[in-house]
Structure 1
Amino acid sequence: MGEIHVGTEAIANGIVTRYELARWYRAFYPNVHAPRGQLLTLHDRAMGAWLWSKRRAIVAGVAASALHGAEWVDADSPIELIYQHTHSRPPPGIVARNERIADDEITCVGGLPVTTLARTAFDLGRHQRRGAAIARLDALMRAAPFTPEEVLVLAKRYRGARGVKRLAAALPLVDGGAASPRETWLRLIYVDGELPKPTTQIPIYDTDGTLLRTVDMGWEEFKVVSEYDGDQHRTDRPQYVKDLRVIPKIERLGYIVERVIKEDRRYDILRRARESLVSRGWRP
């Protein structure tokens, strides 16, 4: 990985000449340069955003969640900063928020000042829309577990902050068992449809004790489980063959397996799950 430079500093310190900077580097933020041809990672862009802030900002939000290990964050996602900036507007690719932050809400990840897990969750739940917020919080909890109580401490600390009510409504729905944003999407369909809250990542064993599969979610009491079939089930031949063999075995153990794909309508997803649960004794 090439070095990220503040252009004027690199020239002043003799790291590069003005000609070399123009010839071999490109600016991806004002006065922040990377080698030409280098594919920038999210960490590179977060480093660049911090350098653009004159090393004063704190990396926050979705970018912070990725630095803590959360998946499903694109390398070109906007870098969110907590930064009391004097610029009229940050450059494209940077979102700067002039917000309060305490010393105990800052940690160091990969050489960068980053919001702690609790503060990252606090910001995700406030600044993202409900579905996206819960998916981001699921991914963060899966990568680096935190407790809702830690986040609620900050909600009390910043009681009047924007989005605190939205955060408080989202936290009870967070589940680190979700292995993808689409699994979060499916779980919320069931919850919003007033079905019992499903349990995530349920192991199912064969009669001889062999683990057949850990299913995405379901209701163990009623032996109804639900699987979201993403693109890998369509493009990955071994996965497709494995499904053909495992799903019937699970059904022979007495489970109803609801298989959901992206094209399914919410109404149909909910109707099928409701009918399956009612057939096993659940009463709304």
Structure 2
Amino acid sequence: MGEVFLGSEAVASGALTRHGLQRFHERLLPDVYRARGQAQSLRDRTVAAWLWSRRRAVIAGAAAAALHGAQWVSDDEPIELFWNNGRPPSGLIVRNETLGNDEVTRIAGLPVTTLARTAFDLGRYLPRHKAIARLDALSRAIVLSNDEVLLLAKRYPRARGVRRLREVLPLVDRGAASPKETWLRLLLVDAGLPAPTTQIPVQNNWGLIAMLDMGWEDYMVAAEYDGDLHRSNRDRYVWDQKRSRLVAGMGWAVVRVINEDEPADVITRVRNALTARGWRP
């Protein structure tokens, strides 16, 4: 048996003996097993959590976002469930909260909070930067309506974290292609710089040259985050160099940011680039 399953059900049906269950399978959660020697994916852990609840819980939080198509959810992310259980095993977060029938959908056979309810919970429970990064990724995967999320805030005005949710929703931008791009955008906005436009196309007579991470088209200034792929992949590095020259030739000033940069230095470089092009606070 390669899939995640309930041990008691497998033994009761005769598919496995108790000896076979214990010898050839590993326990993921109480009474939840899978064949030994396989890496645990987020999907496996999500199914395991649902089975642990005896198929009664609803999947929520980051795991629900991943089922809706959001990227950047790691395999070891805690699995959140809506269910009534005060002592969940390690790796699970169980919330006993009101959940309307119209706030649950099914994805790949699993009960999952709807897109709006998933966003409602992410925006309430996570710290500001992480909440916005998760919501950026969710809205990038599937169009997210702030109005639908705010309707839930009206439905549950006393729910924990509603004020935080109202603060983060206007900052969500589906143009963020990674959590680091979200971080960079918020760093600049929080420093008092104007909110940048994301995913700016740069074209010449032959077509599209580049899609800039974020920038200010009126001043032709952009900020780009270069992840490890830009340095570790030679083909990508060569293309980035050619692309940078083409973009500069079109009149753009591009501030490139890497993980090792100090935030204060990034802010200064972007501010100087903007002021050199005529921006004034």
Partner of 1:280: 277
Report the CA distance between 1:173 and its aligned residue: 0.4
What aligned pairs does 1:24-173 form with structure 2 within 5 A after superposition?
A: 24-85=24-85, 88-173=86-171
Partner of 1:269: 266
Secondary structure (helix, strand or coil) at the match of 2:237 reads helix
Q: Is 1:245 aligned with 2:207?
A: no
Whichever residue aligns with residue 83 of structure 2, its letter is Y
Report the CA distance between 1:64 and its aligned residue: 0.5
Q: Is 1:2 aligned with 2:2?
A: yes
Secondary structure (helix, strand or coil) at the match of 2:71 reads coil
8-17 or 61-70, which deviates more: 8-17
Report the CA distance between 1:38 and its aligned residue: 2.3
Secondary structure (helix, strand or coil) at the match of 2:260 reads coil
Secondary structure (helix, strand or coil) at the match of 1:254 reads coil
| TM-score in terms of structure 1 length | 0.96
Partner of 2:188: 190
- Cα deviation, 1:180-225, whole Å, max 9, x if unaligned, reads 000000000111011111000001012x142111010000111001
Report the CA distance between 1:49 and its aligned residue: 0.5
- Cα deviation, 1:10-59, whole Å, max 9, x if unaligned, reads 11121211111112211110011111112222111111101111111100
Partner of 1:178: 176
Report the CA distance between 1:282 and its aligned residue: 1.4
Q: How many matched pairs?
A: 281
- Cα deviation, 1:105-143, whole Å, max 9, x if unaligned, reads 101111110011100101111111110110000000111
Report the CA distance between 1:82 and its aligned residue: 0.8
Structure 1: segments with no counterpart, 5+ residues:
none
Q: 2:231 aligns with which of 221, 231, 234?
A: 234
CA distance in 1, matches of 2:103, 2:226: 38
CA distance in 2, matches of 1:76, 1:279: 45
Report the CA distance between 1:3 and its aligned residue: 2.1
Report the CA distance between 1:67 and its aligned residue: 1.0
Identity level (%):
55
- Cα deviation, 1:200-256, whole Å, max 9, x if unaligned, reads 0001012x1421110100001110011101111110111111111111221121111
274-283 or 44-53, which deviates more: 274-283
Q: 2:251 aligns with which of 245, 249, 254?
A: 254
CA distance in 2, matches of 1:38, 1:234: 31
1-10 or 254-263, which deviates more: 1-10
Secondary structure (helix, strand or coil) at the match of 1:34 reads strand
CA distance in 1, matches of 2:245, 2:4: 53
CA distance in 2, matches of 1:226, 1:213: 13
Whichever residue aligns with residue 160 of structure 2, its letter is R
Whichever residue aligns with residue 251 of structure 2, its letter is G
- Cα deviation, 1:61-110, whole Å, max 9, x if unaligned, reads 0111111111111112111001112xx41111111111111010101111
| TM-score in terms of structure 2 length | 0.97
* Moved beyond 4 Å, runs of 4+: none
CA distance in 1, matches of 2:245, 2:25: 57
